[in-house]
Structure formats: structure tokens, C-alpha cells
């Protein structure tokens, strides 16, 4: 339980003197810190072990970066905070050379203020809503994608960042479907743009499943590969549809800083444990001219840490979810190596993990919407570069692959 660490008398408190710093540095560089509680004695310091530890971690460690935070670092912090909340140590683990204390201070002293000035609630990362916007937040987000080119047979969608907070358009709905409707033919519909940043996927998905299970009358194999980068809230994610394969493709362009990816196979059986519950439109909805996909945030999945950015959590989720990192992009390789060498010691890639070229130029998320495994498998054979043999198994288990990348 919590105890005052400096209950013993004669222990110094407050700022450290250069002499004390020197003693601590000399001791740790010679012998390592070992048991922190024994450090003060061994280093001849009138401090408690806790104080020594803090001083070393936050100030004396040789690998600290120091200096002001770059804009990229700030963006990354905001992004990670939107995902992790006040998990400063987890956020710090993604920022080499930065400490949780430093990040926490930056957040409280600077970033919070900046976000508020932009009309963003730093706690929720949602726009501070007017009453009207508040009403909007409970309604479904709908996207109607107009067929852009009959010749190419592709549908294109480019997100709009208007009225959105770095890509987040509305407050997190308490319970509503996130619905994307693709109209595959030019006869109808306008385009109502909605944000497609990773927050869109991670935060917009709601917590109920009633509709999904009710409307899903056949298994849907959803193989998704999603890359989220560019933390400056300027991500450029497109959506297109290939009429030949009936695949819906998300394309993330201009990616620079950040990657999140996952592969999932979702069926009725595992829909409640998948990172994104994808609901195949039923036949009445799929009238040949349009396909509707409803995506839901699955609270049980997210809240159980199966989806996580933490090192320990990554390890956990990897074991639980049979994760298959799949990276070939040089930037991602860099991150991937970093993740597994720096952040995940002992968590090397296992031989059943694939390292296929999942994206060479663009990052994409691919949904197979035909509701049959054969479609997906056939598509994989046609696209060896997207081969993800382990995405589907006979048990239709989810295979999320979650990790981030920053440069």
C-alpha cells in the first residue's frame, strides 16, 4: 500500500544539488540502480530511493532528449492522448527521450490551452459543441460516396476536415451506428463528407451491437488493412470501390508520421470481439447498385486492451489475438524494428507472422463486402502483395494488428 517513502528522518527533499546529481550518476553508471531503495545508501545520498529513481528517470538519464518539443512531438502526444487518455507513461514510451513527467507537464501547461483555443475539449478531444452540434452527435454519420468515374469503375471519396477537430467531426456518440453507404452508381446521391482519420475508426464506433447482429444474416469476411499516419490532422484518406472485385478500398495518402494497422476477419461468431464490427448489408440493402457497410466501435474489444498501443498490452494482445505484423514500408520497418527491439524486448517476430508487402505505395484498408470467404481468398490470390494468409482461419478469429509508427 502507499506509504510515505521518506518517512525516515534526515532525508533531504526538494531540488537536487549538483553534488547529489554527481553522486547518483557516478553510482548508477558504475553499478546500475538495482534496487532503488538501496541506492541512496550505496551512493551516500540523504535521499529516499524513490527520489533517486525520479531524479534519474526524469533528469539524469543519458538518453533524455531535453529541449522543447517539436510540433510533430506535440501532435503525436495529442494523438496518443486521444487514444490512451492520461496514460503518460504509455505515451512517453512512444516518444524516445521524453519522460512521462515532461509530457504530462507539457500537456497541462501548453497543449491543453492550445486545444481549448481551438475549441477542442482536451479531455475528450471532441469539439466543444454548440447545442445544434450536440443534437448532431447522436445521429448517425453517413457517407454517400458518389461514383466518380464510370470508366474506371471506381468510387472515390476524399474526406473533408471542415467543421472537424483534426478529423473528428462530432462528439463521441453514446449509441449510434456509424454508417457508410456506398452508392455504386452515378444515378443518385451527393457526397456528404465525413472524417476518415483513425480517430474516426477508433473513437467513433459505438458500443452497442444490437443492430449489427440483427441485420447480419450471413457471415461477412472483413479483411481490413488500415494505415493511419500523419498526425498533424491532415491525413488524406480516400475511399474507392472496385466494381470488378466489389472491394471497398480506403486509401491513406501522404502518410508521414503515424501508422496504425490491423487485419481482421469478422463473422457473426466473432463480431463482438472484433476491433471493428462490420455489418454486411443484407440482401435487401444490397440491391445490386449499392452496398452499405455499418461499422461499430466494439467496446468490449477496445476496453479490454486487446487493442492497445502499449508495450505490455501489445504483447498481451498479440498473444490473445494472434497478431500478424505485416510491414515492408521502410518507415514502418523502422518503426517495427524499433517496436520489437526497443519496446518489446523478447517479443520477437514469430515464424508464423507474415511480413508481406501489404502496402508499397499507399496504405489501404480493404473490405471484402461480398460476404463469402471465397471472394476474399480469391482476391488474395489475385493480389499477392496483399497476401494475408493468416487473416482468415477456420475459426474466424480476429487478427488485429495494432501498432503505431512515428518518424
Partner DNA sequence: AACAAATTCAACCGCGCGCTA
Partner DNA sequence: CTAGCGCGCGGTTGAATTTGT
Contact residues for DNA, defined by CB under 7 A: 1-6, 12-16, 34-37, 47, 49-51, 53-55, 58-59, 86-90, 100-102, 104-106, 108-110, 113
The distance of Cα 53 from the centroid of its chain, to the nearest Å, equals 31
Cell of 66: 531535453
Shortest distance, position 122 Cβ to DNA, whole Å? 12
Which CB, 126 or 311, lies closer to DNA? Answer: 311
Which CB, 6 or 349, lies closer to DNA? Answer: 6
Which CB, 35 or 132, lies closer to DNA? Answer: 35
Shortest distance, position 96 Cβ to DNA, whole Å? 15
Q: How many residues does the chain have?
A: 407
Which CB, 107 or 406, lies closer to DNA? Answer: 107
Which CB, 25 or 129, lies closer to DNA? Answer: 25
* Nearest one of 365, 364, 366, 387 to 377, comparing CA atoms: 387
Which CB, 54 or 182, lies closer to DNA? Answer: 54
Cell of 43: 551512493
| Positive/negative CA dihedral, 385, 390, 391, 394 | positive
Shortest distance, position 27 Cβ to DNA, whole Å? 14
Which CB, 116 or 218, lies closer to DNA? Answer: 116
Q: Give the count of beta carbons closer than 10 Å to the beta carbon of residue 8.
A: 10
Shortest distance, position 204 Cβ to DNA, whole Å? 24
Shortest distance, position 24 Cβ to DNA, whole Å? 10
* Nearest one of 398, 82, 403 to 224, comparing CA atoms: 398
CB-CB contact of 125 with 199 (8 Å): yes
Measure the CA–CA gap between 31 and 38, rounded to whole angstroms. 12
Shortest distance, position 344 Cβ to DNA, whole Å? 15
CB-CB contact of 222 with 140 (8 Å): no
Residue 163 to residues 44, 127, 233, 238, 245: CA-CA distances in angstroms?
Answer: 59, 9, 13, 18, 34
Residue 203 to residues 226, 271, 279: CA-CA distances in angstroms?
Answer: 15, 18, 18
Question: Rounded to 5 degrees, what are φ and ψ at 368?
Answer: -100, 115
CB-CB contact of 317 with 406 (8 Å): no
Measure the CA–CA gap between 377 and 341, rounded to whole angstroms. 33
CB-CB contact of 406 with 335 (8 Å): yes
Which CB, 87 or 161, lies closer to DNA? Answer: 87
Residue 248 to residues 31, 347, 400: CA-CA distances in angstroms?
Answer: 57, 34, 19
Shortest distance, position 206 Cβ to DNA, whole Å? 25
Shortest distance, position 49 Cβ to DNA, whole Å? 5
Which CB, 105 or 383, lies closer to DNA? Answer: 105
Shortest distance, position 52 Cβ to DNA, whole Å? 9
Amino acid at each position: 500500500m502507499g506509504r510515505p517513502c521518506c518517512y525516515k528522518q534526515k532525508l533531504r527533499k526538494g531540488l537536487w544539488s549538483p553534488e547529489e546529481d554527481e553522486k547518483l550518476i557516478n553510482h548508477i553508471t558504475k553499478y546500475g540502480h538495482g534496487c532503488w531503495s538501496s541506492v541512496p545508501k550505496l551512493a551516500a545520498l540523504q535521499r529516499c530511493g524513490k527520489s533517486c529513481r525520479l531524479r534519474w528517470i526524469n533528469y539524469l538519464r543519458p538518453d533524455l532528449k531535453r529541449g522543447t518539443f517539436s510540433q510533430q512531438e506535440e501532435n503525436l502526444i495529442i494523438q496518443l492522448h486521444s487514444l490512451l487518455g492520461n496514460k503518460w507513461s504509455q505515451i512517453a514510451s512512444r516518444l524516445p527521450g521524453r519522460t512521462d513527467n515532461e509530457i504530462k507537464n507539457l500537456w497541462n501547461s501548453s497543449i491543453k490551452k492550445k486545444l481549448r483555443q481551438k475549441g477542442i475539449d482536451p479531455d475528450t478531444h471532441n469539439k466543444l459543441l454548440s447545442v445544434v452540434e450536440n443534437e448532431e452527435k447522436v445521429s448517425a454519420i453517413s457517407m454517400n460516396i458518389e461514383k466518380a468515374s464510370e470508366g474506371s469503375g471506381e468510387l472515390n471519396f476524399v474526406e473533408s476536415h471542415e467543421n472537424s477537430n483534426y478529423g473528428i467531426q462530432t462528439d463521441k456518440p453514446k449509441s449510434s451506428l456509424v454508417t457508410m453507404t456506398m452508392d455504386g452508381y452515378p444515378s443518385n446521391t451527393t457526397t456528404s463528407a465525413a472524417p476518415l482519420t483513425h480517430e474516426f475508426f477508433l473513437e467513433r464506433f459505438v458500443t452497442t451491437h444490437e443492430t449489427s447482429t440483427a441485420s447480419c444474416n450471413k457471415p461477412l469476411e472483413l479483411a481490413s488493412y488500415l494505415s493511419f499516419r500523419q498526425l498533424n490532422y491532415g491525413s488524406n484518406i480516400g475511399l474507392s470501390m472496385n466494381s470488378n472485385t466489389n472491394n471497398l478500398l480506403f486509401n491513406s495518402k501522404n502518410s508521414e508520421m503515424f501508422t496504425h494497422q490491423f487485419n481482421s476477419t469478422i463473422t457473426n461468431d466473432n463480431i463482438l470481439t472484433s476491433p471493428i464490427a462490420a455489418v454486411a448489408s443484407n440482401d435487401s440493402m444490397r440491391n445490386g447498385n449499392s452496398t452499405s457497410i455499418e461499422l461499430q466501435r466494439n467496446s468490449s474489444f477496445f476496453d479490454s486492451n486487446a487493442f492497445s498501443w502499449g508495450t505490455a498490452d501489445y504483447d498481451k494482445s498479440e498473444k490473445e489475438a494472434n497478431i500478424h505484423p505485416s510491414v515492408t514500408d521502410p518507415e514502418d520497418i523502422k518503426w517495427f524494428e524499433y517496436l520489437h527491439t526497443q519496446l518489446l524486448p523478447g517479443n520477437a517476430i514469430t515464424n508464423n507472422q507474415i511480413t508481406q508487402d501489404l502496402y508499397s505505395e499507399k496504405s489501404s484498408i480493404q473490405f471484402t463486402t461480398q460476404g463469402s470467404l471465397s471472394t476474399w481468398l480469391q482476391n488474395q490470390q489475385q493480389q499477392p502483395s496483399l497476401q494475408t494468409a493468416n487473416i482468415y482461419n477456420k475459426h474466424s478469429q480476429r487478427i488485429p494488428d495494432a501498432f503505431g509508427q512515428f518518424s
